[in-house]
Amino acid sequence: MKKKNFLFKIFVIALPIISIPLICFAVNLYIKYIYIIQFPCIFNILTGYFCPGCGNTRSIMELFKGNFLLSLRYNPFIIVSFIFITLLYIELFISTFFRYKKIIPRSNKFLFVTLGIMIVYYFIRNLIPALMIPQCS
């Protein structure tokens, strides 16, 4: 039992040390070789409106360049996901080495409110020109 607990603690500590360089390497490869080919959004072509995924790639690219506001303008889901994953890791780290403490609520109400806010934003972003994604030229 103690050996499993020790290995899990090592895993929790090593997780960001291993995953962050791998993610940076993958994004670097993506920027060099795949980002050149941009596939059009079928939903945008058919309807003229942005789908929830429109702007994700540009949002990630701007986030890695350090342009947080432009990244939020392209698609806020990326930064919200990054914050959520970071909070989950902090929660895992704290529960592994200290007393268990919930940082993110686990209720259905929290889930529905969060999803509702995102759905409303995606509808509003198609109606308000200031929230629309700047088109690539």
- State the residue range of the domain holding 131: 40-137
pLDDT of amino acid 107:
85
pLDDT of amino acid 129:
67
Cα 98 to Cα 50, 101, 102, 117, distances in angstroms: 44, 9, 12, 33
| Same domain membership, residue 28 and residue 2 | yes
Residuewise pLDDT in 10s, the chain (137 residues): 466 677 777 777 888 888 888 888 887 777 777 666 667 778 888 888 888 778 887 888 788 788 888 888 888 888 888 888 888 888 888 888 888 888 888 888 988 998 888 888 888 888 876 666 655 43
Q: What is the DSSP string of 82-120?
A: HHHHHHHHHHHHHHHHS-----S---HHHHHHHHHHHHH
| Same domain membership, residue 102 and residue 60 | yes
| Same domain membership, residue 16 and residue 3 | yes
| Same domain membership, residue 132 and residue 72 | yes
- Tally Cβ neighbours within 10 Å of residue 136: 6
| Same domain membership, residue 21 and residue 78 | no
| Same domain membership, residue 128 and residue 73 | yes
| Same domain membership, residue 120 and residue 132 | yes
| Same domain membership, residue 44 and residue 32 | no
For the chain, list the strands marked E by DSSP.
none
| Same domain membership, residue 116 and residue 99 | yes
| Same domain membership, residue 73 and residue 25 | no
| Same domain membership, residue 13 and residue 50 | no
Can you tell me the distance from the alpha carbon of 74 to that of 55, in angstroms, rounded to the nearest whole number? Answer: 5
| Same domain membership, residue 66 and residue 12 | no
How many domains does the chain contain in total?
A: 2
